[in-house]
Amino acid sequence: MSADGEVILEVRDLVKHYPLTQGIVFKRKIGAVRAVDGVSFDLRHGETLGVVGESGCGKSTIAKLLVGLERPTSGGIRYKGEDLATLSGRALKAVRRNIQMVFQDPYTSLNPRMTVGDIIGEPYEIHPEVAPKGSRRQKVRELLDVVGLNPEYINRYPHQFSGGQRQRIGIARGLALRPEIIVADEPVSALDVSVQAQVVNLLERLQGEFGLSYVFIAHDLSVVRHISDRVAVMYLGRLAEVGTDTQIYEHPTHPYTQALLSAVPVPDPRARERRERILLTGDVPSPAHPPSGCRFRTRCWKAREKCALVVPPLEVPDWFQEGADPAAHDSACHFAEERAVVPPEGGPGTPAP
C-alpha cells in the first residue's frame, strides 16, 4: 500500500439522482432520490481508499459510477486526466478496461450456467487484444493459480465452490484485463470471518504484485483500517470526513465518525470498560428528502441553527495547524473537534450524549 504515487483517478462533485415518478401510463416526476450528492476525492497509484458508511449512504452507487454501470447526473470522473463523461466508443472502452469491479455477493455475481474458465475468460471476448484465442485458457489457468485456486478447476461450475472460493473467482475475473484500478464493493461482507481475512490478505498480496489501486467499499471499520491507506466516511450521499487511516481512527473530528468508531468491538476488556458509547437517536433520513444544511444534523448532539442553514464544507478545521499537525484532515462539520473514542489510560471518557 502506498499513498505517494501519482493521482490516477479524480472524482469531482459527483452527483447521481434517481427520479421518482408517479403514475403507470403517464409518469410524472415528483422528486428524486439523491443517492450521491456532490462527492469529490482522488485515488493515487498503488493506494487503497476505503469508503465506509451505513447501508444506503451511496457507497455502492459510487462503485457503479466509477466502472460505468451508471451514468452520473453531473460531476466528473477523470482517469489520468481523461473525463469519462466525454469519452465514447473505443476510447471509453479502452479506459473502462483499466477500471474493473469485484462484486459484493459471490453467489449471484457468477453465472451458474458458465464454467469457471468461461467466467474468467469472458473479458477476453470483449477485449480480444489482451489475449489471442489460442492463449486464453492458459491465461485463465494462470489467474486461477494467482488467486490460490487449482488450475484444474477450470471446467467446474460455480455451485461446486464455497463462498470464499467463488469470491476468488470473481477477483480473478477482475484481474483478467490487467487493470490499474479495482473497485471492490463490499467484497467480504457475505463471507465468514475466517474467510474474510484470507480474501483481504489475497487482495493485499495482489496489490503488490500487480501495482493495483483499490477503492475498497465496506461497512466493517476493522477490515477497512487493515487494508486502507486513506479512509472516506460517507453519510447520506455526502462525505463526512476524509483522512489517512491513522487520522480517521485515532483523531476523528466529525460526530458521525466518532459514533461509528465508538461502536467497533474492542477485544481488550479494560479498554472496553473505559470506552463510552455514542448512541445516536432517530433514523437515517430518506435520501429522497434529505435535511437542509448538514445531512447529519437530525441525529447530531452538536446541531445548532447554523447546521440547518449552511452546508458544511469538507475542509481542514481552522484549529488544526495545517501542514504542521500530522492529525490535520478534512471534516464536513461546522463544530468539528477531536474526541477520545477510547479514553487514554488513567483519564475519564467523554460521556455519550
Count Cα atoms within 13 angstroms, Cβ side, for 54: 18
Which range has the worst mean pLDDT, 32-36, 92-96, 116-120, 164-168?
A: 92-96
Residue linked to cell 403517464: 26
pLDDT digits (tens, 9 = 90+) for 234-251: 999 999 999 999 999 989
In the predicted structure, residue 350 carries a pLDDT above the cut 60: no
pLDDT digits (tens, 9 = 90+) for 110-157: 999 999 999 999 999 999 988 888 899 999 999 999 999 999 999 999
| 102 within 8 A of 200, measured Cβ to Cβ | no
Secondary structure letter of residue 160 according to DSSP: G
Alpha-carbon distance of 240 to 101, in angstroms, equals 24
Residue linked to cell 459471490: 106
The whole-number pLDDT of residue 92 equals 85
Sign of torsion over alpha carbons 339, 341, 344, 345: positive
The whole-number pLDDT of residue 351 equals 33
Q: Which residues contact 274 (CB under 8 A, 6 or more apart)?
A: 342, 343, 349
pLDDT digits (tens, 9 = 90+) for 170-226: 999 999 999 999 999 999 988 888 899 999 999 999 999 999 999 999 988 888 998
In DSSP terms, which residues pair with 20 in a beta bridge?
Answer: 31
Phi-psi domain of 340 (left: phi exceeds 0; alpha: psi -120 through 50; beta: other): beta
Most confident by average pLDDT, 236-240, 320-324, 341-345: 236-240
Mean pLDDT of the chain: 88
In DSSP terms, which residues pair with 21 in a beta bridge?
Answer: 29
Sign of torsion over alpha carbons 31, 35, 41, 43: negative
Alpha-carbon distance of 263 to 161, in angstroms, equals 34
Alpha-carbon distance of 110 to 1, in angstroms, equals 29
Residue of 21 and 159 predicted with greater confidence: 159
Alpha-carbon distance of 315 to 239, in angstroms, equals 11
Q: In 152-220, where do the E strands start and end? A: 181-185, 213-217
The residue among 7, 253, 219 whose CA lies nearest residue 104 is: 219
**Percent of the chain whose pLDDT exceeds 90:** 65
Q: What's the whole-number mean pLDDT along residues 304-324?
A: 86
Alpha-carbon distance of 167 to 352, in angstroms, equals 39
Secondary structure letter of residue 315 according to DSSP: B
Alpha-carbon distance of 194 to 213, in angstroms, equals 24
Q: How confident is the model at residue 292 (pLDDT cuts 50, 70, 90)?
A: very high
